[in-house]
């Protein structure tokens, strides 16, 4: 069931209420409406009270959405996607839909977000910079939470690189490392798809002078710098992952070539021996040397075969073919 909480500043403290208190909250200068849980009924009720556009409400009801910003009459709609690990190592995306108005800010999300509670814990000071300042407080925490995730992927990538470059690599360990490498590369791609458009969102939002004043613009620039650093880290990690995979494939190819070279040498050595044994296995006995009736003939043939094998092996070794 969806939970709607309205927050505003009253007598120097943050007051909380329901949708019925929305008019009182807006009269204070800034109302923050937080909707936890995506349900059509509360969203439509909220849209009627704040005159929110139906297309934005439709985007809230359909997950996932790409990070974006849309301008409507009297409000701006922002979709912000934040990554997290959840209960597993795989990256889970959480979506935060935000409506920005002159005297209100609406946050809509399916799951609880620590950034919401942390911003609320800051106290009345977060309301003093207006809608733009409150929005900054939220996304700044969301972006900061992304940095450790990228650093963790970089550390995992370094561990995979160390394992894959080891000389005494077992087949089971090798297969596990390759699988982990593909997982990390896929997670980096997911992060890049989110972080890159969010920088465009910030650039577009900075031009909304009705909400973003000069002070809020400076703070949003700081968030943009953090996003740029995260994106640079992602790009670096993707390049490292690609290089590790290329090196791994090159090493495997070299190992396969070495094995094939050894097998080729062995097969080449046995080729003349097979020829000799085939000739002496023929039913023709006249004119053959050594004569079939001689006691030492079998030993002579075997000795000749051994001599040929040893000679060819020494020759291949001298040529560094083996």
Task: Supply the DSSP string of 256-269, one letter for each residue.
Answer: HHHHHHHHHHHHHH
- Examine the pLDDT at 32 and tell me if it is beyond 80: yes
210: cis peptide before it, omega within 30°?
no
- The residue among 156, 45, 137, 129 whose CA lies nearest residue 96 is 137
Looking at the chain, which residues constitute the CATH 1.20.58 domain(s)? 260-318
Cα 310 off chain centre by: 55
Highest mean pLDDT (candidates 87-91, 268-272, 318-322) = 268-272
Packing angle, helices 214-280 and 297-318, rounded to 10: 150
- Examine the pLDDT at 88 and tell me if it is beyond 60: no
pLDDT value, residue 128:
86
- Report helix, strand or coil for 140: helix
pLDDT value, residue 97:
94
- Examine the pLDDT at 170 and tell me if it is beyond 70: no
Residue bearing the bigger pLDDT, 77 or 245: 77
Give the pLDDT mean for 80-106: 83
Q: How confident is the model at residue 15 (pLDDT cuts 50, 70, 90)?
A: very high
- Examine the pLDDT at 154 and tell me if it is beyond 80: yes
Dump pLDDT digits (tens) for 109-138.
988 899 999 998 888 888 888 898 999 999
Share of the chain above pLDDT 70, in %: 93
Count CA within 13 A, CB hemisphere, residue 212: 17
Which CATH superfamily includes the segment(s) 3-252? CorA soluble domain-like (3.30.460.20)
Mean per-residue pLDDT over the chain, rounded: 85
User: 260-318: which CATH architecture?
Assistant: Up-down Bundle (1.20)
Looking at the chain, which residues constitute the CATH 3.30.460.20 domain(s)? 3-252
Give the pLDDT mean for 143-150: 89
Give the pLDDT mean for 204-211: 86
pLDDT value, residue 172:
67
Q: How confident is the model at residue 171 (pLDDT cuts 50, 70, 90)?
A: low
Dump pLDDT digits (tens) for 257-267.
887 888 888 88
- Examine the pLDDT at 7 and tell me if it is beyond 90: yes
């Amino acid at each position: 069931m969806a939970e709607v909480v309205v927050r505003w500043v009253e007598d120097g403290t943050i007051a909380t209420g329901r949708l019925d208190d929305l008019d009182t909250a807006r009269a204070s200068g800034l109302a923050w409406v937080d909707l936890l849980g995506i349900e059509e009924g509360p969203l439509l009720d909220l849209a009627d009270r704040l005159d929110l556009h139906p297309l934005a409400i439709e985007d809230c009801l359909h997950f996932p959405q790409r990070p974006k910003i849309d301008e409507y009459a009297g409000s701006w709609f922002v979709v912000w996607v934040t990554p997290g690990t959840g209960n597993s190592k795989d990256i889970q995306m959480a979506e935060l839909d935000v409506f920005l108005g002159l005297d209100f800010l609406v946050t809509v999300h399916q799951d609880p977000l620590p950034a919401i509670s942390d911003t609320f814990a800051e106290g009345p000071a977060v309301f003093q910079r207006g809608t733009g300042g409150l929005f900054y407080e939220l996304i700044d925490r969301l972006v900061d939470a992304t940095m450790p995730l990228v650093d963790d992927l970089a550390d995992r990538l370094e561990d995979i690189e160390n394992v894959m470059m080891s000389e005494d690599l077992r087949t089971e360990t090798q297969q596990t490392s390759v699988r982990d490498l593909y997982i990390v590369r896929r997670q980096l791609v997911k992060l890049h798809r989110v972080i890159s458009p969010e920088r465009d969102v910030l650039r577009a939002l900075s031009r909304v002078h009705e909400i973003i004043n000069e002070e809020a613009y400076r703070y949003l620039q700081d968030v943009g710098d953090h996003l740029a650093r995260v994106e640079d880290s992602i790009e670096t990690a993707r390049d490292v992952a690609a290089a590790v995979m290329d090196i791994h494939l090159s090493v495997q190819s070299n190992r396969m070539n070495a094995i094939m070279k050894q097998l080729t040498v062995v097969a080449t050595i046995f080729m003349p021996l097979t020829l000799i044994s085939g000739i002496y296995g023929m039913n023709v006995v006249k004119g053959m040397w050594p004569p079939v009736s001689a006691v030492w003939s079998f030993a002579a043939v075997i000795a000749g075969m051994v001599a040929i094998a040893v000679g060819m092996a020494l020759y291949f070794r001298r040529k560094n073919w083996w």
